[in-house]
């Protein structure tokens, strides 16, 4: 039976490879499909197809180029009939900053396809696109995505940038990659029979191995991933591509490589990351950011390090509101704090967005490997996961892998796991190669993809709906004395996100919103914020009373009072980096 199963598995693998080859050759049409993964080249074609289909609401910008010269694209979704992009709250979304995290790019593509395809169908999506602006970069690490599909690898291959690095300090660069010894497109594990090894076969499923207990005899020794000694230095796979981590190379909180692995020689040493930072900086209307990665089932907010200190409590309240709702949208995901609940990172993108751009930013870690389930609800109730033994990429246990193998056998029919088979290695001699394949562990099988991308896109859409949405009201225009009028103005924000983050206010990151009253023949003699409208308590500004600087809190309002001398038409103008521009014309008659 095992031999028959191996034959069936090989057939499925051949069919899968042939299907992917055909998919890559097909012309991509809109609406896009999310029952397979897009190569980098297919992503570019998909963006071009969306732009051709919706030229009135999209703009396709070349952000910059990678180390190997590939294009990094951003698609802007905006309705010019309702205003220019910079006049609206901006929502930034990207994916695939790590080259192997390919379903992150699918979330971004799905969001674009959904916003544009639903515009004339769904009144809520139409209203959202009319009032907001979306900047979407599906693939940040374009070289990594290209090589992930084109080259043999593991589920973690091609994560970093293609910046040559001497990992083993031998004066050579990237000279000892893993090798696809059996030519199946996967870099799997190597093991060798060894009675002094630290592993034995799992008694419940011989395909798996478990660590031996003290006093037990070993059966296997793990040799690492497939490979040979390409440079003849006595080591195997010690100098593969890169390694500069594109999510450790940003200009806030950056630390050198001896502190932060993969940081690069200096901030923005990556061509692509520098170009992306410049692109984002030129769009100051961005107030919400989402960066999608690929595993863990988490929505992460900063701080990224403990030493940075906690965010302002009022900013945390905004994050909590958005993060808790995102948990509801994506069952099983957890809203967490990066350094506290995961690990510390220096020089990462999300902290740069929050601290430098003043944007409320989340990292979406997508796939939950524990969703590869093959158990009834009753079985799960009777045998719950042990505390902390979870089922996620960072905390693995043998029970989970046993169930994953059943999922592999009965739901995807062998696509995720390579059966162990003999191989004659030039250094180790007779070994076996097998284990989880490249398209496993971090990635959902394509039949699971649509649910994942839709739910995460829905979390983005919810946060976009909570971006600043300000209404301007003149609620009093009253003569109060000889040639003197009292004008009262109210600004109401129905979104959860303030027009300026509390961090941005604290460090004066950029100018506050502006409220101005002007007009020919008019002179504002006093103006300030109303503290108590019923008792006429006003905090007047001493100089330039016609010009007030402010912000509007989420789900809140602010009120201002102006005392105006003269007759004429007054212009009440509100301008905000994140909430756009509003104005009203008011007749002043004193």
When the pLDDT of each residue in the chain is averaged and rounded to a whole number, the result is 92
Among 343, 340, 287, 348, which residue's Cα sits nearest to residue 311? 340
Residue 581 pLDDT greater than 90, yes or no: yes
- Which pLDDT value is given to residue 164? 85
Residue 266 pLDDT greater than 50, yes or no: yes
Buried-state track 544-557, b at ≥16 Cβ within 10 A, e below 16: ebbebebbbbbeee
- What percentage of the chain has pLDDT greater than the value 90? 85
470-588, CATH topology level = Immunoglobulin-like (2.60.40)
pTM for the whole structure: 0.93
- Which pLDDT value is given to residue 213? 94
- Which pLDDT value is given to residue 2? 41
pLDDT tens for 469-509 read: 999 999 999 999 888 999 999 999 999 999 999 999 999 99
pLDDT tens for 513-535 read: 999 999 999 999 999 999 999 99
Give the DSSP letter string of 357-381.
I--EEEEEE-B-GGGS----HHHHH
pLDDT tens for 430-449 read: 999 999 999 999 999 999 99
Q: Where are the domains of the chain?
A: 31-150+244-367+446-465, 470-588
Least confident stretch, 23-27, 150-154, 266-270: 23-27
> What average pLDDT does the segment 176-195 reach?
95
- Which pLDDT value is given to residue 387? 45
Residue 60 pLDDT greater than 80, yes or no: yes
Confidence of residue 18 (pLDDT cuts 50, 70, 90): very low
Least confident stretch, 19-28, 111-120, 273-282, 326-335: 19-28
pLDDT tens for 395-432 read: 458 999 999 999 999 999 999 999 999 999 999 999 99
- Which pLDDT value is given to residue 550? 98
**Residue that wins the pLDDT comparison between 483 and 37:** 37
d(CA 49, CA 58): 11
- Which pLDDT value is given to residue 563? 97
589 is written with which tokens?
């008659």
- Which pLDDT value is given to residue 1? 39
- Which pLDDT value is given to residue 552? 98
Q: Class of 31-150+244-367+446-465 per CATH? A: alpha beta
> What average pLDDT does the segment 217-225 reach?
96
Say which residues have a Cβ less than 8 Å from residue 261's Cβ, sequence separation at least 6. 245, 248
225 is written with which tokens?
């991933």
d(CA 58, CA 42): 18
Residue 393 pLDDT greater than 70, yes or no: no
Cα angle, residue 111 at apex, residues 108 and 116 outer, rounded to 5°: 130
Residue 541 pLDDT greater than 80, yes or no: yes
Q: Burial, 532: exposed, middle or buried (Cβ in 10 Å; 0-12, 13-18, 19+)?
A: exposed
- Which pLDDT value is given to residue 589? 87
pLDDT tens for 124-162 read: 999 999 999 999 999 999 999 999 999 999 999 999 999
Confidence of residue 381 (pLDDT cuts 50, 70, 90): confident
- Which pLDDT value is given to residue 232? 86
Contact 296, 369 (CB under 8 A): no
- Which pLDDT value is given to residue 468? 98
Torsion angle defined by CA atoms of residues 207, 178, 258 and 162, in that order, rounded to the nearest 10 degrees: -130
- Which pLDDT value is given to residue 4? 41
- Which pLDDT value is given to residue 26? 62
Say which residues have a Cβ less than 8 Å from residue 195's Cβ, sequence separation at least 6. 217, 218, 219
Cα angle, residue 12 at apex, residues 10 and 18 outer, rounded to 5°: 105
Confidence of residue 385 (pLDDT cuts 50, 70, 90): low
β-bridge pairing 580-588 and 547-550: unpaired
- Which pLDDT value is given to residue 20? 52
Among 420, 412, 413, 473, which residue's Cα sits nearest to residue 446? 412
């Amino acid at each position: 039976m095992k031999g028959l199963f191996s034959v069936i598995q090989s057939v499925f693998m051949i069919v899968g490879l042939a299907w992917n080859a055909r998919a890559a050759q097909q012309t991509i049409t809109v609406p896009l499909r999310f029952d397979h993964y897009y190569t980098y080249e297919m992503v570019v074609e998909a963006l071009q197809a969306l732009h051709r289909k919706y030229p009135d609401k999209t703009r396709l910008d070349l952000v910059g180029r990678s180390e190997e010269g590939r294009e990094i694209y951003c698609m802007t979704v905006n309705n010019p009939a309702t205003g220019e992009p910079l006049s609206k709250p901006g929502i930034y979304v990207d994916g695939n900053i790590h080259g192997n995290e390919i379903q992150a790019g699918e979330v971004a593509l799905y969001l674009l396809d959904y916003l544009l395809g639903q515009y004339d169908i769904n009144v809520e999506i139409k209203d959202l696109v009319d009032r907001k602006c979306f900047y979407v970069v599906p693939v940040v690490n374009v070289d990594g995505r290209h090589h992930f599909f084109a080259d043999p690898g593991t589920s973690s291959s091609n994560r970093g940038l293609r910046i040559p690095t001497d990992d083993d300090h031998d004066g050579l660069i990237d000279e000892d990659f893993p090798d696809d010894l059996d030519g199946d497109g996967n870099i799997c594990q190597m093991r060798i029979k060894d009675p002094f090894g630290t592993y034995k076969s799992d008694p419940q499923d011989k395909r798996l191995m478990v660590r031996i207990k003290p006093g037990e005899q070993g059966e296997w020794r793990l040799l690492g991933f497939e490979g040979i000694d390409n440079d003849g230095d006595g080591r195997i796979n010690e100098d593969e591509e890169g390694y500069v981590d594109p999510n450790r190379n940003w200009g806030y909180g950056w630390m050198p490589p001896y502190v932060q692995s993969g940081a690069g020689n200096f901030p923005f040493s990556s061509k692509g990351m520098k170009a992306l930072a410049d692109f984002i900086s030129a769009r100051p209307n961005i107030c919400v950011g989402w960066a999608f990665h690929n595993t863990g089932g988490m929505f992460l907010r900063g701080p990224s390090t403990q030493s940075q200190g906690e965010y302002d409590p009022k900013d945390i309240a905004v994050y909590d509101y958005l993060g808790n709702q995102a948990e509801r949208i994506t069952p099983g995901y957890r809203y967490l704090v990066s350094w506290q609940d995961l690990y510390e990172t220096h020089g990462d993108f999300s902290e740069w967005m929050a601290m430098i751009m003043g944007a409320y930013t989340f990292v979406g870690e997508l796939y939950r490997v524990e969703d590869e389930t093959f158990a009834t609800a009753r079985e799960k109730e009777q045998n719950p996961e042990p505390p902390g033994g979870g089922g996620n990429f960072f905390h693995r246990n043998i029970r989970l892998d046993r169930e994953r193998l059943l999922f592999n056998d009965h739901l995807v029919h062998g696509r995720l796991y390579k059966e162990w088979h003999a191989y004659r290695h030039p250094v180790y001699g007779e070994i076996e190669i097998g284990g989880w394949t490249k398209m496993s562990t971090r990635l959902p099988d394509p039949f699971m993809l649509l649910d994942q991308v839709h739910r995460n896109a829905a979390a983005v859409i919810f946060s976009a709906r909570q971006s600043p949405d300000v209404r301007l009201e003149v609620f009093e225009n009253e003569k109060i004395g000889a040639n003197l009028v009292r004008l009262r103005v109210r600004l109401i924000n129905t979104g959860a996100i303030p027009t300026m983050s509390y961090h941005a206010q604290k460090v004066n990151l950029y100018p506050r919103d502006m409220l101005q009253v002007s007009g020919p023949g008019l002179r504002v003699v006093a103006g300030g914020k109303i503290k108590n409208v019923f008792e006429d308590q006003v905090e007047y500004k001493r100089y330039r009373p016609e010009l007030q600087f402010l912000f509007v809190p989420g789900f809140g309002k602010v009120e201002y009072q102006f005392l105006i001398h003269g007759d004429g038409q007054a212009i009440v103008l509100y301008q905000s980096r994140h909430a756009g521009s509003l104005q009203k014309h008011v007749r002043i008659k004193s």
